[in-house]
Structure 1
Amino acid sequence: MLSFLRTPRFALLLLALAAPTLPAPVLAQGRPEGVQTAEDPWLYKGSDLVHDDQWKFGRLSNGVRYAVRKNGVPPGQISIRVRIDAGSLMERDSERGFAHLLEHLSFRGSTYVPDGDSKRIWQRLGVTFGSDSNAATTFISTTYKLDLPNATPQGLDESFKILSGMMAAPAITQASLSAERPVVLAEGREQPAPQKRMQDALYQLIFAGQPLADREPIGTVEALNAATPASVQAFHDRWYRPERATVIAIGDVDPAVLEAMIAKYFSSWQGKGEAPKTPDFGKPEADHPIAASIVEPALQPVAMMAIVRPWTVFADTVIFNQKRMIDMVAIRILNRRLESRARSGASFIAAGADLDDIARSANVTTLTVLPTGDDWQSALRDVRATAAQLMATPPTQAEIDREIGEIDAVMRNRISTAPVESGVSIADDLVQAVDINETVTTPEGSYAIFKGAIAKGMFTPAAVQASAKKVFEGTATRALVNTHAPDPDVVSKVTAALQADVKAAAMKRRALNVTFAQLPRIGAPGKVVERKQIDADLAIEQVRYANGVKLLMREDASETGKVWVNIRFGRGLRALPGDKRVPAWAGKTALMASGIGKFGQEELDALTGNRQIGLGFDIEEDAFVFRAQTNKEDLADQLRLFATKLAAPGWDPNPITRAKAATLASYAGLSASPDAVLGRDLDVLLHDGDPRWGVPSREEVAALTPQAFRALWEPLLRTGPIEVDIFGDLNSDATVKAVAESFGALKPRADGKESGAPVRFPDHVATPVVRTHTGAVDQAAAVIAWPTGGGSAGLAESRKLEILTAVFRDRLIDQLRIQAGVSYSPNVMNDWPVGLPGGGKIAALGMVPPDKTGFFFKLARDIAADLVAKPIDADELNRALTPLKQQLLRMSSGNMFWMNLVEGGTQDPARIAGMRSLAKDYAATTPAELQALAAKYLRPDKDWTMVVLPEKAAK
């Protein structure tokens, strides 16, 4: 499987469709290419791809397949995946949701572990519940995931033992079923209803006549409520069999140890009864309705078109991948053309094509179109015309070469970064390969196949045109539209739109021969006036230039081929007023897109497409930030682009107009569910109405003009201090020189003013603040928050609050989810803004039924009161602290971790000092300190509460 070719999994809505990007390939080393023989690993049956010999494959006598591998990223961690070849497509009508329900029950308890103990055992080993230990049920499989940090031999042995018991003998009792069924029902209830209805309609249309049309893993309420221990056990015995299991283990240990563990705990597993046959997933059928519509005012107007074909992945071969490469080049060219039209002001805000193999059921080409306004017919027509033009007229060789150049750059970058690919992503890649009947190969092997296709002359205009025709032909073409108002003729209109003979769009394509030499000149290189080491252990240096620019730099090659760049300038939120809304909200999407010098988005794409150069932007508490991940070869040009944005920004109005249109279109969903309302209102409410936070009103968005956007951002780009943070696989002297030639060459800047607006937490309320949503009547949300603090002087306290929050979260999960079954994903968060003098908070949140909000508040306040009343015991502290320490240890192996800790340190040295005390701040925390912090902050007279209730129930 050449995973750089993989397109995203089939999506419901593509809310932001940018120029084509490529996922990363699987990373490894391997032997020369050859056709598989009987002695070869099971993964490569029927494949002639290069084998990845860093994996050791095997099969136990009972049929369990396994793959083990050594990987030291992050150090000390072992990642284990147990994949069962059984998902929702294996369920009978009376078993809808059983695969997912069984996943939940398996985690509760098994033959080796009493109910609920596996979570606590793994916490003591440093595992974070929900992220390090989790599972996923899909249409075709159920995969159990465990990332065991700092794995000891005893912890590894215990973990394999628990996992084997979960597969072979989960505890399916009436007690466990009664406890976990409400959690599964809560998970289903918490899904946003409009998106769920649209997804159901989409699958029922596109996969009409196939089981995939109505076999979502979440199941049905009726089947789940009817489940008994006997019926769930029957599903388990039928499908949880050794010959349907694949165990994957990768980590910082000898693979022989992992292989021995698998043999020790999985060899005795025996299936019960006769092995079932995998059901027929069917094939796309032509004799079904080709169009459908829904009316969801809470969602953006959208048109989705799909061309469906039978499942195609039967043998993962070189030629299969090379042909798929041509298909993907055709898709990329189409997407680039669509993006160009959207940027210049089209009938659609965004549109994009995707090619995917789905659930071993169909090969599907999709076109997703977000119209400008409600006119989906014009938008769909224009998108279809753009596709028709590619099918009617071969693309230019220059267009093809541009895509080939970008693919080549990505693949070469993956080869260079292979040594630092995490075991987690490598394990997940192999699971996905097993899922879709593909293999894994090496980055070098992937690149050789790609270069082989080039050498054969496969990427010609005629070949790409033929692929464009092929991916838009199939068994059936179908389309779904969402509208905001009922239209009795909409289905016939959709049918007519699909069958209309569109005229190929006449696109004016200009060759973009742009170079960095065409960028505006900045000035003479700046002089270094000070260079010093600020941390000898981490080799972090600080450099000061004559114009006042300061550089924090760390040369560390542990992440091969990766250089992280943050450019902090100005004052961020501190520069924005606290009493009126300004168009800062549009900056994240439109500021970089508005151009650099005379270069607009098209030119910038051409300039950077085959380079490792990024153009990210964000607004932080005390600085505006340009962000990128690059490499040492492209670092100088990366810095020059960012510096030129400050010195000579472009002000193309089209990105502002597009950002406004996209934001206005998104308003439909901002009241559609409890979590949507929280996303809209919670941040601004927790800042006492401060307009620097939250979502602007529809009127404010509609009033935005390119002139107002420029009026805000032009002075902000010119003023305020500049700190350049560069960490990673770099050359220190070359980096100092590159900064001198870019940011060091800028004219000295004025300091830039802060608005002086205070950061406020809302006053205590006797009754919760109420907001309403327009979604399902059984959905609600409840939030309780307490004010804490902010600023770098309190860093040590903020870290101890992380531990207190972890204890609070664990108790809330145990009592609200595991015991009461009221909420699937309750959470408790600690927010301590280092760049602001205040505004911090601890907040607990739960998605609950409307009649359980009071229960949530009582439970949260009881937990808070108990944390104040008495210190926690040693075991609870260990179960909270050990996963946090392990998270820090894992993150500390990456340069981004250290950069995040010290960023802003040239203006605020306390952050650099705080980096040095990090380990002590966590490790030395005592139960008494946590109790004191709880008494200080979890005060009942300071808490603030909020509920989001269904609109109908609130009347």
Structure 2
Amino acid sequence: MNFKQTAFLGASALLLTTSSVIAQVKKKTTTPANKATNTARSSVKPGNPEVLPVDPNVLTGKLPNGLTYYIKPNNQPKGRAQLMLVTKAGSVLETDAQRGMAMLVQHMAFEGTRDFSKQDLTGFLRKTGDRFGADTSAFTSYDETTYQLSVPTDTAKTFADGFNILANWAARITFDPTALAAQKNLLAAQAAEGGKNPQSKLQQAALPLLLNNSRYGARSPIGTEATLKNIDLAAIKGFYNDWYRPDMQAVVAVGDFDPKKVLEMIKFSFASLRNPVPEKPLPQYASPATAGTSVKFVTEKGFPYTFVQIVSKHPSLIVKTPGDMLQNMRISLFNQLLNNRITDLTKIPSPPIRYGQSGYAEFIGKQDAFSTLALAKSAADLETGFKAVAAELERAKKFGFTITEVERAKQNVLQQVSASYSAKDNSPSASYASEYEHAFIVKQGIPGIDYEYDYYVNNIGKVSVADLNALAGKLISSQNRVILVEADDSDKDKLPNEQTLLKWEADAGNSLTAYVDDSAIPFMATLPTPGKVNDIKVDSTLSVINLKLSNGARVILKPTTFEPNQVLISAYALGGTSLAPDADFTSANIAAQIIGSSGVATFNQTQVNKMIGDKGFSLTPYISDISQGVTGFAQADNFGPAMQLLYLYFTNPRKDPAVWQNYIEQAKAALTRNANTPGVVYQDTVQAVLGGYNPRVMPATTEKLNAASLDKAFDFYKARFADASNFTFTITGDFTVKDIIPFVATYIASLPSGNTHETFKNLGIHPPAGQITKTVTKGVSDKSTVQLVFDGAYDYNDANNLTMDGLEETLNMRLVDSLKDGNGIYSPSVRASYVKIPEGRYKVTIAFLADAGNTDKAIAYTLGEINKLKQSGPTAKETQVFVEREARNLQAQYKQNAFWQAALTSAAQNQEDPDKLLSRMQGLEKIDAAALKDAANKYLGNNLIKLILLPEKK
């Protein structure tokens, strides 16, 4: 199981500059199953005990021209396959004059090839279910460019065309000059935009130092505006011919197929490809180590945070042998242990930092990195936050870890690898394909989950506390280290100099004591007296069991075999913040967040986290505008402790003044920090306008926060969860009804009830009618942000809902074509939503970026496309694409716990017949172009709100 992944450092997403660095390395998502199957990967000779075996379920090898292939049969989803073309040609191969070339080639692949025109490619992607093109069906990083397709396998020609398209991308891109000029301008604009926001400017300043001034530090995949504009046809063809060649490429195919037949298809499509003569030698670049610690302070106007990052770089661990796997296991345990300690700093009274994260992961330039990130409360509080984090690192290095910490981490790791092993037959093809793509690039082993599971079970006991203490001493290093501080320009005078910062670190190590691990005890020493199940009704159509309990609560049970050991849990009752007086709204609105961060009974949140950390479950209370409840998941073998926590959230929530104070302080700091942040100001305006300027939708203010109180929040929370008779519980997953009913009786039927029949109040908060334009002028970006919002009253029913979904899909297809056609519209998206309660309403939001000087033109073009749809309706092909795609999605959703959990809960909340969930496929047969045209005229009408963010005038 590989927890040492590139994705780890990117988890802080919008907060931290380095996250965007990491995002350029891998623009994809690692699924939970892939966490276990990503462990060890290498093409090795079978039978050699010194190296890991190759998964026997994977057919791998090379064609005579050097092209590598990975083929694995997998029927999730059934009737489909995930295909990839992986090329070891990324931005690090570019010369100074070629910066941005690798990504430009990627974009040109979707503009046409020898055998497939742009229209052919667009049509294929639509037909197979891919929404977009170059930005979602491919990615370029420092060391690779990868193309990916999800194709049906039950249609022979379409399946074969998938391989033919990959082969055309591999060697037959045509590089139409007109298309090249358009794509150069598009990417140049994106590169220019990327260097204008504060986060990107700070990244550009920090990246060379983080990468030791190596070639990687000067080869951001997006390139530069100047080099992209100057790339000519001969240059891009030269780059393509040099590096897109079989001996540097791999084809990955995972899906519902016969692997031997797929191998023949790969040979048919790729065997004729030839390497250039002579072959250009492939240079090897790395980020060399540097002695000691480098400190850098970078500031930028408008950067809304003060944070510090401590990065110690190490040679990359390539897992090829069982010994490498053992070391990787140690690293996964180390990551859990240290990250838990750092995140605990955010949960103590008067926390020294707002956010913290720590761990060892893949980095860039053939190196790994141990990185600790901390978001300070403010620039003035940097010393306190930095010393707290530095102290925890030194504590781990000096005193090591406790046996109880280590044992919890081991149990957690074993549960995760066991879950992945149990789910191996249900893991999606995309996760396996991602594993083999990465294996080809970094040359790691692919032993498979069977081997990995056995290895972990048989060897995790060999990992000692001493091993992990030694690892802490090695990884928490002051050599080849960078300490990076980033802040707003206005806080520059509050930052220390290098000598002061290093002295802070030295002082933090003084007077340290060993870490004390709170002992974990059961949530409940005495179990509640069980209630009774008064009524059981079986819905044989859906295999759903409906229970009515003695306290009036209702329970919906959906046993499945989709995900072994997974159980999803939710509860809801109507009411929510709509029942709070306006004067108490702020307190009520944050009540669940506060209580959910405060623990339960006598346990604070840190203790709760430790108590559930190795049991594989999570529950979170919530209060929305019209409902309240709990949502989460559990492993089937730890369902009991999960239900105890649920019971305590209802009956014994915890009031923690320190959590309240920390929340209020952070909220006030955010108001100050974001007061002039363009995106925040814009979104606050959007929320206010769409809520009709109702006081409940207006942004928080210092005055509102000062008026809120913990007592009011706590009392409101208790009142919302006081009467179980108002609640409906939905439980979906791997269980039998016989086994789960005792838990239901003990922990749900025993909840107090009062038969209050409480429900929500309709406060009438929705967008105002008519034509409205609201423009916010903020920032210096040369792009404008636009949202066009249509809304109105809505008759909520299955037919209308399906038609609305079709309208959303059609508009998405139309606007994506606009992006490809160079109409000054960037990143378009369409989202349609509809609700039945508190009243029937719909909303269609069309969002995009545009060149600031052409905003009106872009809006006019978009409205023109809408008018075309209203006048002529969608084409038969557009309608067919929606129907086929929706049918495929439904087939997949019917085999997912998450779908049933949400759908059954929604049906109960909206008082609908749940059996209708199976009739949506029949409803698709009634969708035609005329129905979508009518929907466009009905829903894209007179109620239009234009919300625009423009840069300030210079």
Larger CA deviation: 288-297 vs 712-721: 288-297
8 Å CA contact 2:36, 2:420 repeated in 1: no
SS in 2 for 1:651: coil
1:736 matched to which residue of 2? 741
Question: CA separation in 2, counterparts of 1:207 and 1:36?
Answer: 29
SS in 1 for 2:419: helix
1:370 matched to which residue of 2? 375
1:701 to 1:780, Cα distance in 2 relative to 1, 3 A = farther
Larger CA deviation: 276-285 vs 407-416: 276-285
Q: Offset of 1:437 from its aligned partner?
A: 3.1
Larger CA deviation: 272-281 vs 420-429: 272-281
Q: Does 1:238 align with 2:242?
A: yes
1:204 matched to which residue of 2? 208
8 Å CA contact 1:351, 1:368 repeated in 2: yes
1:864 to 1:485, Cα distance in 2 relative to 1, 3 A = closer
User: Structure 1 residue aligned with 2:821, among 819, 822, 836?
Assistant: 819
2:435 matched to which residue of 1? 429
Q: Does 1:218 align with 2:222?
A: yes
Question: CA separation in 2, counterparts of 1:915 and 1:314?
Answer: 47
Q: Offset of 1:99 from its aligned partner?
A: 0.8
User: Structure 2 residue aligned with 1:402, among 388, 392, 408?
Assistant: 408
CA deviations on 1:342-362 (whole Å, 9 max, x unpaired) are 211232122221212223432
User: Structure 1 residue aligned with 2:107, among 104, 108, 128?
Assistant: 104
Q: Offset of 1:210 from its aligned partner?
A: 0.7
Q: Does 1:858 align with 2:860?
A: yes
Q: Does 1:145 align with 2:138?
A: no
8 Å CA contact 1:112, 1:165 repeated in 2: yes
1:639 to 1:288, Cα distance in 2 relative to 1, 3 A = closer
Letter in 1 for 2:849: M
Structure 1: gaps spanning 5 or more residues? none
- 1:533-932 equivalent positions in 2, closer than 5 A: 533-534=538-539, 536-572=540-576, 574-575=578-579, 581-587=585-591, 589-619=593-623, 622-667=626-671, 670=674, 675-693=679-697, 695-701=699-705, 704-719=708-723, 721-749=726-754, 750-765=756-771, 768-774=773-779, 776-790=780-794, 793-815=796-818, 817-910=819-912, 912=914, 914-932=916-934
Aligned-pair identity in percent equals: 19
2:97 matched to which residue of 1? 94
CA deviations on 1:374-431 (whole Å, 9 max, x unpaired) are 2212211221111111111232222222222222222222222222111111211222
Question: CA separation in 2, counterparts of 1:477 and 1:471?
Answer: 11
1:149 to 1:498, Cα distance in 2 relative to 1, 3 A = farther
Letter in 2 for 1:396: T
Letter in 2 for 1:10: L
SS in 2 for 1:11: helix
Q: Aligned Cα RMSD in Å?
A: 3.1
Question: CA separation in 2, counterparts of 1:934 and 1:95?
Answer: 45
8 Å CA contact 2:43, 2:444 repeated in 1: no
2:355 matched to which residue of 1? 350
2:418 matched to which residue of 1? 412
Q: Offset of 1:156 from its aligned partner?
A: 0.4
Structure 2: gaps spanning 5 or more residues? 17-29
Q: Offset of 1:841 from its aligned partner?
A: 0.7
8 Å CA contact 2:212, 2:287 repeated in 1: no
Q: Offset of 1:132 from its aligned partner?
A: 11
1:662 to 1:138, Cα distance in 2 relative to 1, 3 A = farther
Q: Offset of 1:204 from its aligned partner?
A: 2.0
1:944 matched to which residue of 2? 945
SS in 1 for 2:536: strand
Larger CA deviation: 425-434 vs 569-578: 569-578
8 Å CA contact 1:520, 1:644 repeated in 2: no
Question: CA separation in 1, counterparts of 2:525 and 2:120?
Answer: 62
2:22 matched to which residue of 1? none
Question: CA separation in 2, counterparts of 1:166 and 1:945?
Answer: 40
Letter in 2 for 1:385: A
8 Å CA contact 1:790, 1:836 repeated in 2: no
Instruction: Give the TM-score normalised by the residue count of structure 2.
Output: 0.91
8 Å CA contact 1:419, 1:560 repeated in 2: no
SS in 2 for 1:837: coil
Q: Offset of 1:38 from its aligned partner?
A: 4.5
Letter in 2 for 1:843: T
Letter in 2 for 1:6: Q
Letter in 2 for 1:706: L
CA deviations on 1:8-31 (whole Å, 9 max, x unpaired) are 3433956789xxxx984648999x
8 Å CA contact 1:47, 1:315 repeated in 2: no
8 Å CA contact 2:86, 2:250 repeated in 1: yes
Question: CA separation in 1, counterparts of 2:179 and 2:312?
Answer: 44
Aligned residues: 933
- 1:486-525 equivalent positions in 2, closer than 5 A: 486=490, 493-498=497-502, 500-504=505-509, 506=512, 509-516=515-522, 518=524, 521=527, 523-525=528-530
Q: Offset of 1:712 from its aligned partner?
A: 3.0
CA deviations on 1:530-570 (whole Å, 9 max, x unpaired) are 21123x23212211112111111111113222222112234
8 Å CA contact 1:125, 1:149 repeated in 2: yes
User: Structure 2 residue aligned with 1:449, among 444, 448, 455?
Assistant: 455
SS in 2 for 1:502: helix
Letter in 1 for 2:950: L
Q: Offset of 1:272 from its aligned partner?
A: 2.5
1:288 to 1:544, Cα distance in 2 relative to 1, 3 A = closer
1:59 matched to which residue of 2? 62
Question: CA separation in 1, counterparts of 2:698 and 2:443?
Answer: 45
CA deviations on 1:121-166 (whole Å, 9 max, x unpaired) are 2312333335996111111111111112464212101111112112
Question: CA separation in 2, counterparts of 1:241 and 1:588?
Answer: 56
Question: CA separation in 2, counterparts of 1:395 and 1:288?
Answer: 25
SS in 1 for 2:884: helix
User: Structure 2 residue aligned with 1:49, among 48, 52, 67?
Assistant: 52
SS in 2 for 1:426: helix
1:130 to 1:683, Cα distance in 2 relative to 1, 3 A = farther
SS in 2 for 1:824: strand
1:267 matched to which residue of 2? 271
8 Å CA contact 1:615, 1:626 repeated in 2: yes
Larger CA deviation: 97-106 vs 916-925: 916-925
User: Structure 2 residue aligned with 1:480, among 477, 484, 497?
Assistant: 484
1:72 matched to which residue of 2? 75
1:530 matched to which residue of 2? 535
1:37 to 1:362, Cα distance in 2 relative to 1, 3 A = closer
Question: CA separation in 1, counterparts of 2:197 and 2:526?
Answer: 51
Question: CA separation in 1, counterparts of 2:645 and 2:707?
Answer: 31
Question: CA separation in 2, counterparts of 1:843 and 1:790?
Answer: 15
1:455 to 1:582, Cα distance in 2 relative to 1, 3 A = closer
Letter in 1 for 2:410: I
Question: CA separation in 1, counterparts of 2:531 and 2:605?
Answer: 29
8 Å CA contact 1:239, 1:276 repeated in 2: no
8 Å CA contact 2:43, 2:443 repeated in 1: no
